Amino acid sequence: MRILTFTGYYLPGYKGGGPIKTVKNLFDQTSSSISYKLITSDRDLGDSVPYSSVVCGAWNEVDNAKVFYVQSGALGYKQIAIILLEKQYDIVYLNSFFSPRFSLFPMLIAKMLKQKVIVGPRGEFSKGALSLKAQKKQSFINLYKTLRLHQDTVFQASSKHEADDIRKALGHKVDIQIAEDIGAQEFVKTLPIRNINKFNIVFVSRISPMKNLLTALEILRTVKQVVNYGIYGPIEDEEYWEQCQKVIKDLPKNIQVEYKGELLPEEVIETIAKYDLFFMPTKGENYGHVIAEALCAGLPILIADTTPWRDLEAKGIGWDLPLDDLSAFRDVIEQLALESPNERYRMRKKVLKWARDKFSQRNAIDANIAMFQYVINK
């Protein structure tokens, strides 16, 4: 199969977060049986200048795929159109719903050419995601329906929860295939017992309203125990970050917060393994690669019930709690802060074992291959 893939950001970029990891893991695990070409931006999220390490406006060999970095402005749209019109592919695979350049535009051309199309919305239809710029997004959805672009298009959902979100937005007749994102394949090398009483928690993600850092800080304001909170990630929304900084300045003395800057993808697991808890009450994730990475680092996770990662407490690997009960998040942090280093180590050991069992399975890999085969045969 020949898959022409579109995504807003890709390697060597990293600020785009989860979708980059989704596509990379897919290529790494399935390229022995599928041929991939990828079209993406010539610069990272928020950057004003193109990459210097690739040839923009041309095909580049990047690991297991050929990658075309389209240039800005009208020239980029022209480059996309030319590649689509060559029709050297079996499926057009769009890794966004709302992107004008990397979803709507190629969708219009692909439909005109009567090509097979898959759209992976990547959590864009979650309640939390749709609440941000709601009017603009609803107008986009209405246009999509008016043009009947959802007809004869296959939508990828990473879970049953995301499938429900897609149906709510586009209707119950839409063709949905559930294929979970392919998760991390790297694990922390050592898991030492830390004989210290400090309780260190960590946030890793883009700093934007969707990731809900502000709510995490408001929760910490109510915690009575001594807690250190390390924040990693690119500042995507400067105004939102200013709101966060105001809360940080007013936190009680027992809560220490430090912004640590950005992490390269290869630095994430070993860096966060130095902490005791991953805490990110996100408004929604279709998968949440950083959550998977936290598990692979042997970290219990404290998140909202807005992701596919559910029933965490029953599994003994964390907590997924409703955002309308912030005191429940506080209670978990208070409880964990009082545990001994040995108690924390036992839980981290259990988390790491669960992660090794989970991510050694081929279920997600097979489901993605089956989705492409379904579309080919449709």
Q: What is the pLDDT of residues 259-274, one digit of tens each?
A: 999 999 889 999 999 9
- Is 316 contained in some domain? yes
Mean pLDDT, rounded, for 133-142: 95
Instruction: Supply the pLDDT for residue 322.
Output: 97
Residues 151 and 249 both lie in one domain = no
Instruction: Supply the pLDDT for residue 183.
Output: 80
Residues 310 and 172 both lie in one domain = no
- Is 366 contained in some domain? yes
| Alpha-carbon gap, residue 95 to 182, rounded angstroms | 14
Mean pLDDT, rounded, for 225-234: 97
Mean pLDDT, rounded, for 363-367: 93
Residues 72 and 44 both lie in one domain = yes
- Between strands 35-41 and 65-70, the pairing is parallel
Strands (E), the chain: 2-6, 35-41, 59-62, 65-70, 91-94, 116-119, 154-157, 175-178, 199-204, 227-232, 255-261, 277-280, 301-304, 318-321
Q: Which residues of 309-341 are buried (b: 16+ CB within 10 A; e: fewer)?
A: beebeeeebbbbbebeebeebbebbeebbeeee
- Is 190 contained in some domain? no
Instruction: Supply the pLDDT for residue 360.
Output: 82
For the chain, the average pLDDT equals: 94
| Alpha-carbon gap, residue 162 to 90, rounded angstroms | 26
Residues 352 and 231 both lie in one domain = yes
Dihedral (CA of 184, 187, 188, 193) sign: positive
> Residue 189, Cβ neighbours under 10 Å: how many?
8
Residue 92 backbone phi and psi in degrees, to 5: -100, 125
Is the confidence at residue 286, as pLDDT, over 90? no
- Whole-prediction pTM: 0.87
Query: How far is it between the farthest Cα atoms of the chain?
Result: 64
Say which residues have a Cβ less than 8 Å from residue 251's Cβ, sequence separation at least 6: 217, 220, 221, 257
Is the confidence at residue 54, as pLDDT, over 90? yes
| Alpha-carbon gap, residue 316 to 319, rounded angstroms | 8
Whichever domain contains 32, its CATH number is: 3.40.50.2000
Residues 144 and 266 both lie in one domain = no
Is the confidence at residue 195, as pLDDT, over 80? no
Distance between start and end Cα atoms, the chain: 14
Residues 143 and 214 both lie in one domain = no
Is the confidence at residue 192, as pLDDT, over 90? no
Band of pLDDT at residue 16, cut at 50, 70 and 90: confident
Dihedral (CA of 9, 15, 20, 25) sign: positive
The domain total for the chain is: 2
- Is 353 contained in some domain? yes
Instruction: Supply the pLDDT for residue 344.
Output: 93
Query: What is the share, in percent, of the chain residues with pLDDT greater than 70?
Result: 99
Residues 286 and 150 both lie in one domain = no
Mean pLDDT, rounded, for 218-237: 96
Query: What is the share, in percent, of the chain residues with pLDDT greater than 90?
Result: 88
- Is 336 contained in some domain? yes
Band of pLDDT at residue 119, cut at 50, 70 and 90: very high
Residues 11 and 159 both lie in one domain = yes
- Is 270 contained in some domain? yes
Residue 283: name the closest of 210, 233, 217, 208 by CA. Answer: 210
- Is 348 contained in some domain? yes
Domain limits for position 46: 2-182+362-377
344: which 2 tokens? 């924390």
pLDDT digits (tens, 9 = 90+) for 138-159: 999 999 999 999 999 999 999 9
Instruction: Supply the pLDDT for residue 330.
Output: 98
| Alpha-carbon gap, residue 309 to 130, rounded angstroms | 20
Label residue 316 left, alpha or beta by phi (over 0 means left) and psi (-120 to 50 means alpha): left
Instruction: Supply the pLDDT for residue 193.
Output: 78
Instruction: Supply the pLDDT for residue 18.
Output: 84
Residues 165 and 239 both lie in one domain = no
Mean pLDDT, rounded, for 60-81: 96
Band of pLDDT at residue 185, cut at 50, 70 and 90: confident
Residue whose token pair is 């399975």: 361
**What is residue 66's three-state secondary structure?**
strand
Residues 6 and 88 both lie in one domain = yes
Instruction: Supply the pLDDT for residue 374.
Output: 97
| Alpha-carbon gap, residue 245 to 71, rounded angstroms | 35
- Is 245 contained in some domain? yes
* Segment among 171-175, 182-186, 260-264, 372-376 with least mean pLDDT: 182-186
Please, are residues 60 and 54 in contact by the beta-carbon 8 Å criterion?
A: yes
| Alpha-carbon gap, residue 16 to 38, rounded angstroms | 15
Residues 239 and 335 both lie in one domain = yes
Please, are residues 305 and 320 in contact by the beta-carbon 8 Å criterion?
A: yes
Residue 201: name the closest of 190, 210, 188, 213 by CA. Answer: 213
Residues 225 and 97 both lie in one domain = no
